Structure 1
């Protein structure tokens, strides 16, 4: 497993995380054909799995953190919220509202079909540099609870399993779809985010998506990209 989630309280991680397998979507009109989806039932996170998720010598750029909104007065505009977090070049990507009860949330902007777990490519990085990309900061603005979905393997590990020459590639969501279609092992972890909670995660590197599965209310998330040091925001776990 290459996924690493920063935490000092395993019980707090276990309380908000569960896991399931993965499959590809076939014949689902609301999904792009081949989209990677979690397949239940969801299982509670075990102490052994929580221990596997603890970072060892993980660099900041490859680490997942669950975080709280910063203390103090709110910023003048939401777009400036990340200005005090240590990266003057951070970019506000905007926000997106997800409907209630959605297994995954990200749509294809061409036809509206959902794309399932995927890899971001804002930084357009080659295989050898894919672990150096900016991390995504996200906050759940509510009103409903939402989830962060994460794959257990990063896209470089996926490419190594698929290709004899991964160093020559630009890793892509299509690699993740091909890997999953072959039935190769992939776990999906689901992390609960209540309103006012968020994450910082290497979405250029890790398969991910949002989810509102089982939640009766929609939620809006807002996003930034930046190079943030570990611990720049208070941890939830």
Structure 2
């Protein structure tokens, strides 16, 4: 399924959401060669586009994006924060700090270059199983706002387009998206503002994504978990 967002208030979604297309980056020291990032020409989300993003009631929780409110952490240990929030088996992944003004935030630990928009692969699932991967829960610890950027086209659709003869035997990968864009296909994305104390649940092994602090004046730390949360388990922020 393409990108779908749980929405209780369309105006609230539009107030914090913009849309753009992605582009490939070549021959820079900041990004991996071939990385794909937003074009930078962000436009406000129209009412029609917002309605198209809004998830129908039957949308599987495993492929759904939710922008949520989270309880304030007590103490320095975040590991157990998510366990009482709907999945006792939630796995804590740690924290990451982003400086202000970053187009995307995830780097390649081997050489420090940014990888751009990407797919996660914690559950190491193939084509057929990819929609059943765990979702990522993220909590913005502040002090600044930040964004989650999400690609509009799911990993299965891109895998089919790039590997039409053997897609069913493959495991969707970031490289599929890079090849898709390099072949001249248009790929849209959205960014959603996440304030301190808010978070998101997103199928990051099924949708292209990354964080961003573009246009933000303060750094922000973010904490991550993996798990399986039914739709509506956490209070919505939009």
Are 1:126 and 2:123 an aligned pair? no
**Which secondary structure does the structure 2 equivalent of 1:110 belong to?**
coil
Note the alpha carbon deviations across 1:47-74, whole angstroms, 9 max, x for none: 0100110112310100000001137x84
Gaps of 5+ in 2: none
Residue 75 of structure 1, CA deviation: 6.7
Residues paired across the two proteins, number: 236
**In structure 1, what is the Cα distance between the partners aligned to 2:232 and 2:22?**
31
Distance apart, 1:177 and its partner CA: 0.6
Answer yes or no: is the 8 Å Cα contact 2:144–2:196 preserved in 1. Answer: yes
Cα distance in structure 2, aligned partners of 1:137 and 1:167:
28
Q: Does 1:220 align with 2:225?
A: no
1:193 lines up with 2:194 in the alignment: yes
Structure 2 length normalisation: TM-score?
0.96
CA shift, 1:19, in A, is 0.6
- The answer (yes or no) to whether the contact 1:119–1:207 under 8 Å persists in 2 is yes
Distance across 2 between alignment mates of 1:180 and 1:197: 32
Alignment of 1:35-184 (within 5 A): 35-56=35-56, 57-70=58-71, 74=74, 77-164=77-164, 165-184=166-185
What SS does structure 1 have at the residue aligned with 2:207? coil
Instruction: Give the whole-Å Cα distance in 1 for the aligned partners of 2:62 and 2:85.
Output: 15
TM-score by length of 1: 0.96
User: Conserved in 2, the CA contact under 8 Å of 1:133 and 1:204?
Assistant: yes
Q: Distance in 2 between matches of 1:179 and 1:226?
A: 29
**Structure 1 stretches of 4+ moved >6 Å:** none
Counterpart secondary structure, 2:101: coil
Aligned-partner SS, 1:127 = coil
CA distance in 2, matches of 1:98, 1:74: 22
Deviation per CA, 1:130-171: give whole Å up to 9, x if none.
Answer: 000000000110111100000000111111111122111011
Paired position in structure 1 for 2:15: 15
